[in-house]
Amino acid sequence: MQHIPQLFTADDPPRMGDTTLTEGLGVPLSFGHTYLTLLVCLSGSARFTLNFKEHVVRRGDVLLLAEDTIALLKRRSRGFKVFFCLMPKGFAAEVAYQLPNPLFIFLHEHPHCVPDSDDRPLIEGWLAQMRDIVKCCPTYRHVMLRNQLQNLFLKIAEQLPATYKGSRAFSRKEMLSWQFWDLIGKHCTRHRDVKFYADALSITPFYLSQLTKAFFNDTAKGLIDRQVTQEIKALLSYSNLAIGQIADELNFVDASYLCRYFKRQTGVSLSRYRLQGQQEAGQA
């Protein structure tokens, strides 16, 4: 899989698999209706920006991305691949129920976890167990996945001071950029104009584009269009909706305009992209 995995609706079950994230290169990553995303690097390396801070991710490293985490994949090696676990809000809440509060503060400030060398074999064993649960345990899969994820997070928590407190504060520009990306995730299916988001942030469209150029190296319109494109890809990949229904779902005036928009953004037609996805699924 090369594209960005997503949950189609907030009611979807957790989803797991492997991906190269090739289609996410150079854009803020979005995983659809996922509330919490866990990534484990399986091979290769990559350079990410997580909430405006640079991180080099290597084999065995763990990334935990909340729905409001701004994650930008800036560079990847040829062999880069990650295991992903996409968690909807309800399931994430079940996992978090038994976890200590200092862990949440730590993961918010440190979404990139680098295991000690002694712990890396444990990560590999944990991954093997996760794959086995998905493949072989349909009856108790839900509770087993929940427990397995809790074990991983509690292992991280064991290494923290019991009274760990966060300290980093974001600048106003960082907060505006963070809020803009959050608004895109919530409203891009209905609003594709920059003015809507600038008005919501009480700033001008020009200033908003200045911020996005500084923090995302792209225009505000470019970021909106890329997120809308991801939404279209998700509907093509994970639903059986007809093209006209997708146009209605994403507030396009008609299917013809949706087709032109997608072709302009990706260089391929809607039908060709859907066919490619079906062929990949058939080979998996």
- For residue 277, the domain's CATH number is 1.10.10.60
**CATH code assigned at 143:** 2.60.120.280
Spatial CB neighbours of 213, under 8 Å, sequence gap ≥ 6: 219
Count Cβ atoms within 10 A of the Cβ of residue 21 and give its class: 0-12 exposed, 13-18 middle, 19 or more buried.
buried
Task: State mean pLDDT over 98-125.
Answer: 87
Q: Are residue 111 and residue 185 in the same domain, yes or no?
A: no
Element spanning 75, H or E? strand 71-76
Q: Are residue 193 and residue 264 in the same domain, yes or no?
A: yes
Identify whether 166 is part of a domain.
no
Measured distance CA(7)–CA(152) in Å, rounded: 22
Identify whether 6 is part of a domain.
no
Identify whether 3 is part of a domain.
no
In this model, does residue 24 exceed pLDDT 90?
no
Among the residues of 45-109, which ranges form H helices?
A: 89-96, 101-109
Q: Which of 58, 175, 181 is nearest to 114 (CA)?
A: 58
Task: Select from 158, 181, 200 the last residue of a domain.
Answer: 158
Task: Select from 158, 190, 210 the last residue of a domain.
Answer: 158
How confident is residue 165, by pLDDT bands cut at 50, 70 and 90?
A: low
Q: Are residue 140 and residue 35 in the same domain, yes or no?
A: yes
Q: Are residue 152 and residue 30 in the same domain, yes or no?
A: yes
pLDDT attached to residue 262: 94
Q: Are residue 134 and residue 26 in the same domain, yes or no?
A: yes
Measured distance CA(33)–CA(86) in Å, rounded: 9
Q: 73-96, pLDDT tens digit by residue?
A: 999 999 999 999 999 988 888 888
In this model, does residue 9 exceed pLDDT 50?
yes
Among the residues of the chain, which ranges form H helices?
A: 89-96, 101-109, 120-136, 141-158, 172-187, 194-201, 205-216, 220-238, 243-249, 255-266, 270-283
In this model, does residue 67 exceed pLDDT 60?
yes
Question: Domain range spanning residue 179?
Answer: 173-283
Measured distance CA(82)–CA(63) in Å, rounded: 10
Q: Are residue 275 and residue 142 in the same domain, yes or no?
A: no
In this model, does residue 254 exceed pLDDT 70?
yes
Q: Are residue 138 and residue 187 in the same domain, yes or no?
A: no
Q: List the structure tokens of 12.
A: 């979807």
Q: Are residue 152 and residue 199 in the same domain, yes or no?
A: no
Identify whether 47 is part of a domain.
yes
Q: Are residue 80 and residue 45 in the same domain, yes or no?
A: yes
Q: Are strands 53-58 and 81-87 parallel, antiparallel or unpaired?
A: unpaired
Q: Are residue 248 and residue 152 in the same domain, yes or no?
A: no
Q: Are residue 224 and residue 257 in the same domain, yes or no?
A: yes
How would DSSP label each residue in 246-269?
A: HHHHTT-S-HHHHHHHHHHHHSS-
Spatial CB neighbours of 87, under 8 Å, sequence gap ≥ 6: 14, 34, 35, 36, 37, 38, 95, 149
Measured distance CA(4)–CA(21) in Å, rounded: 6
How confident is residue 284, by pLDDT bands cut at 50, 70 and 90?
A: very low
Domain count, the chain: 2
Identify whether 243 is part of a domain.
yes
Identify whether 115 is part of a domain.
yes
Identify whether 245 is part of a domain.
yes
How confident is residue 181, by pLDDT bands cut at 50, 70 and 90?
A: confident
Task: State mean pLDDT over 261-282.
Answer: 83
Q: List the structure tokens of 152.
A: 């991983």
Task: Select from 90, 125, 158 the last residue of a domain.
Answer: 158
Complete edge-to-edge strand list for the sheet that includes strand 71-76: 53-58, 45-50, 71-76
- Indicate the pTM of the whole model: 0.67
Higher pLDDT, 108 or 144: 144
Taking CA atoms, 241 is separated from 24, 33, 159, 272, in Å, by 24, 17, 47, 15
Identify whether 7 is part of a domain.
no
Alpha carbon 10 to its chain's center: 14
Q: Are residue 26 and residue 152 in the same domain, yes or no?
A: yes
